[in-house]
A and B are shown apart, each in its own frame.
Chain A
Amino acid sequence: MPYLIDKLASESKDNKTLSINAKRVGLFVLENLVWFLTLAIFIAFGLLIEGFFTPNVAYFILYISSPIGILVLAQSLCLLSGNFDLSIAQNAGLSALIVGLIIGREMPGVIPTSIAIALVPLLGGVLGAVNGFFIGILKINSFLVTLSTYLIYEFLAYYLLTQPIPGYHLPAGFLALGGWKLGPIYITFYAFLLIAIILSLFLKNTAFGIKIYAVGSDYEIAKTAGINADQVLFWVYVMAGVLAGIAGLAYAGFGGSISNSMAGGEVFWSFAGAIIGGVSMKGGRGKILGAMGGALLLGVIGSGVVLLDITATLRDVIKGLVVLAAVLIGKYRTSAIDRLLMPSKI
Chain B
Amino acid sequence: MGLLLEVKGIHKLYGKVHALKGLDLHVQAGEVVALIGDNGAGKSTLIKIISGVLPPTEGKIFFNGEDVNIDSVYTARKLGIETVHQDRTIIGDLDVTKNIFLTREETKYFGPFKILDHRKMREVAKKLTETLGLKISSPDQEVRFCSGGERQGIAIARAMYFKSKLVILDEPTTALSAKGVEKVLNFVNHLKEENIGVIYITHSLRSGYQIADRFVVISQGEVVANMPKKSITFEDLERLCITD
User: Footprint of B on A, CB under 8 Å?
Assistant: 2-3, 6-7, 9-11, 204-207, 210-211, 213-214, 216-218, 221-222, 224-227, 284-285, 341-343, 346
Contact = CB atoms under 8 A, between A and B. Distances in A.
A6 B137 contact: yes
Nearest 4 CB-CB pairs, A to B? A3-B140, A217-B93, A226-B74, A284-B93
A219 to B, nearest CB: 10
A199 to B, nearest CB: 14
Contact of A210 (B88, B98, B141): B98
Interface of B: 53, 72-74, 77, 88-95, 98, 102-103, 105, 107, 110, 114-116, 118, 137-142, 145, 147, 177
B145 A224 contact: no
B92 A225 contact: no
Q: Most B CB atoms within 10 A — which of A11, A204, A210, A225?
A: A225
B103 A2 contact: no
A204 B141 CA distance: 16
A9 B141 CA distance: 13
Contact of B95 (A3, A205, A206, A221): A3
B89 A226 contact: no
A226 B90 contact: no
11 contacts: A205-B118, A207-B105, A207-B116, A210-B98, A213-B94, A214-B98, A218-B91, A221-B90, A225-B91, A227-B103, A285-B93
Contact of A221 (B53, B88, B139, B177): B88
Nearest to A215: B91
B144 to A, nearest CB: 8
A186 to B, nearest CB: 30
Contacts of B110: 205
A155 B98 CA distance: 44
Given A3-B95, A207-B116, 20 more contacts: A3-B141, A6-B140, A6-B141, A7-B137, A9-B137, A10-B137, A205-B115, A205-B116, A207-B103, A210-B98, A210-B102, A218-B91, A225-B91, A225-B102, A225-B103, A226-B72, A226-B74, A227-B103, A285-B93, A341-B142
B73 A225 contact: yes
B177 A346 contact: yes
Contacts of B140: 2-3, 6
Contact of B77 (A204, A218, A226, A342): A226
A224 B48 CA distance: 11
